[in-house]
């Protein structure tokens, strides 16, 4: 049996093969200038590092790109370590030669924890939003507001424990067991929609109706009604624009807000038990849906192409950071989808 003799060109040949198969990370690396995030990252981590003793930390942009990989493929910390070591495409995206060490999962966890503690994920999202604005990808022609569930691992708590959690209290039994308490999510909540129960959080987004990029977002627990967050996403900064949303957002308060801010109101009309929608209202809603349904493309892409919005983190602050990174990763992919045909 003949034995294969490795050559100096094996890795290059394999990477060339990946290019022919259209490795999506090649475009991500080509189109996205990750250096735009460095000033904010270095500013945050310079406050975190109290001593120059010990091993030199990994490059902050390098570690940030690992978090983007996690959200693009919905990978746990352990899995992202394995995939970086296993996949040439990941190594090339990170500029990580085969002979260089791969950060272990605890390093990834600590880096993300530091981001959560600094609270800069929103600032990183806004930094890339500036890029989208500079390229004319955020228009005033229309905004869509909607929300999607972000589920987390379900916790089998007793009814009594759940009642205490709803009141913002922690069961005494959990306080006596720190190891148990650290595994309990005190912020996640149950809710029901169309007869289906969900446990976790919500990702409320405002997106551009033309280019399908996420312009703004807000994270809440799952029990918060969609309409309660509307004013956080839409205001007088949207003056002269149009806003589309489903009937869950229809209320006198929201109608008044949009009128005061001079924003065109295209929220779906809502029918009631003794006051159903007329045929004309139904037709108008159908016309509005032709634009409003665009937001479902975003949630569908996150669910199907990015492995879903589900997160494995515990606690609102970590979930909020995960949601922000997921929205940022989506915008990066959408940015490439828009630029690709434009350049052709």
> Where do the domains of the chain lie, and which CATH numbers do they carry?
10-118 (no CATH), 123-152+188-343 (3.30.420)
Q: Considering only CA atoms, which of 151, 162, 167, 157 is closest in space to residue 199? A: 151
Query: What are the angstrom distances between the C-alpha of 242 and each of 133, 214, 231, 267, 294?
Result: 17, 15, 15, 10, 14
Instruction: Write phi, then psi, for 111 (nearest 5 degrees).
Output: -65, -45
What is the per-residue pLDDT across 222-255, written as a single tens digit (0 to 9) for each?
Answer: 999 999 999 999 999 999 999 999 999 999 999 9
**Continuous H helices in 142-197:** 159-166, 172-175, 178-181
Q: What is the pLDDT along the chain (344 residues), one digit of tens a residue?
A: 567 666 666 777 777 788 888 889 999 999 999 999 999 999 888 766 555 655 678 899 999 999 999 999 999 999 999 999 999 999 999 999 888 899 999 999 999 999 999 999 999 999 999 999 999 999 878 999 999 999 999 888 888 888 888 888 888 888 888 888 888 898 999 999 989 999 999 999 999 999 999 999 999 999 999 999 999 999 999 999 999 999 999 999 999 999 999 999 999 999 888 889 999 999 999 999 999 999 999 999 999 999 989 999 999 999 999 999 999 999 999 999 998 876 54
Mention every residue, 6+ apart, whose C-beta is less than 8 A from residue 20. Answer: none
Q: Considering only CA atoms, which of 67, 341, 72, 329 is closest in space to residue 214? A: 329
Say what the pLDDT of residue 344 is. Answer: 46
Phi-psi region of 261 (alpha: psi -120 to 50; beta: other; left: phi over 0): alpha
**Continuous H helices in the chain:** 10-20, 24-31, 38-48, 60-73, 77-86, 88-93, 105-118, 121-134, 159-166, 172-175, 178-181, 230-233, 252-260, 279-292, 294-304, 316-343
What is the per-residue pLDDT across 37-53, written as a single tens digit (0 to 9) for each?
Answer: 999 999 888 766 555 65
Cα–Cα distance, 29 to 118 (Å, whole number) = 26
Mention every residue, 6+ apart, whose C-beta is less than 8 A from residue 46. Answer: none
């Amino acid at each position: 049996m003949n034995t294969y003799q490795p050559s100096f060109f094996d890795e290059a040949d394999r990477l060339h093969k990946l290019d022919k198969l259209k490795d999506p990370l090649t475009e991500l690396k080509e189109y996205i200038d990750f250096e735009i995030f460095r000033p904010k990252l270095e500013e945050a981590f310079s406050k975190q590092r109290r001593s120059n003793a010990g091993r030199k930390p990994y490059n902050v942009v390098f570690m940030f790109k690992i978090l983007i990989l996690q959200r693009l493929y919905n990978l746990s910390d352990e899995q992202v370590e394995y995939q970086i070591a296993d996949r040439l495409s990941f190594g090339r995206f990170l500029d990580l030669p085969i002979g260089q060490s791969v950060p272990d999962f605890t390093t990834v966890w600590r880096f993300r924890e530091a981001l959560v503690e600094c609270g800069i994920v929103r600032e990183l999202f806004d930094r890339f939003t500036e890029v989208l604005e500079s390229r004319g990808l955020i228009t005033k022609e229309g905004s869509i507001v909607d929300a999607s569930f972000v589920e987390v691992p379900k916790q089998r708590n007793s009814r009594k424990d759940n009642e205490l959690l709803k009141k913002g209290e922690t069961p005494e039994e959990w306080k006596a067991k720190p190891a148990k308490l650290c595994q309990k999510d005190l912020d996640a909540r149950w809710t029901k929609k169309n007869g289906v129960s969900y446990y976790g959080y919500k990702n409320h987004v405002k997106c551009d109706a033309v280019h399908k990029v996420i312009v703004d977002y807000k994270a809440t627990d799952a029990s918060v009604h969609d309409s309660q967050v509307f004013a956080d996403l839409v205001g007088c900064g949207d003056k002269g624009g149009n806003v589309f949303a489903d009937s869950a957002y229809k209320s006198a308060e929201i109608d008044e807000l949009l009128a005061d801010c001079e924003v065109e109101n295209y929220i779906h009309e809502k029918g009631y038990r003794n006051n159903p929608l007329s045929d004309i209202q139904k037709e108008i809603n159908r016309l509005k849906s032709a634009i409003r349904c665009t937001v479902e493309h975003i949630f569908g892409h996150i669910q199907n192409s990015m492995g879903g919005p589900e997160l494995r983190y515990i606690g609102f602050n970590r979930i909020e950071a995960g949601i922000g990174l997921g929205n940022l990763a989506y915008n990066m992919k959408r940015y490439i989808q828009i630029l690709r045909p434009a350049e052709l």
